Amino acid sequence: MADLNQEQWQEQLSKDDNALILDVRTEDEVAEGYIKKAKHIDIYLGQEFVEQIQALDKSKNYYVYCRSGGRSAQACAIMNELGFPNAYNLLGGFNEWQGTVENE
């Protein structure tokens, strides 16, 4: 797992053709807005979260965020344990996100 600040995350993501953005917040948090093209898997789902993560393509590079960076760091650690070599945590999370935000 690598912790990336906002600038590093956006710059690396913009150059990555093998990227997938992962939002691990709750449904209520996602309803407030999310990063464009993010796949939502709530980390609070417990075992279901693990099962949904295991179903993902391990060859992709995952850019993971939550509200402030704590849960996404946990998610990256879980992903590493499950054999995902490239999981990048967004330091400061969605609270500090400066990029484009989508709303449902």
As to burial, measured by CB atoms within 10 angstroms (0-12 exposed, 13-18 middle, 19+ buried), residue 60 is: middle
Grade residue 104 by pLDDT with cuts at 50, 70 and 90: low
What pTM was estimated for this model as a whole? 0.95
CA dihedral defined by 31, 46, 94, 104, rounded to 10 degrees?
Answer: -20
Q: Which of 24, 43, 66, 75 is catalytic?
A: 66
Q: What is the CATH number of domain 2-97?
A: 3.40.250.10
Q: What is the pLDDT of residue 8?
A: 95
53-67: per-residue pLDDT in tens? 999 999 999 999 999
Supply the pLDDT for residue 103: 86
Whether the CB-CB separation of 35 and 99 falls below 8 Å is answered with yes
Dist. CA 97–CA 68, nearest whole Å? 10
Domain borders along the chain are 2-97
Reply yes or no on whether 76 is catalytic.
no
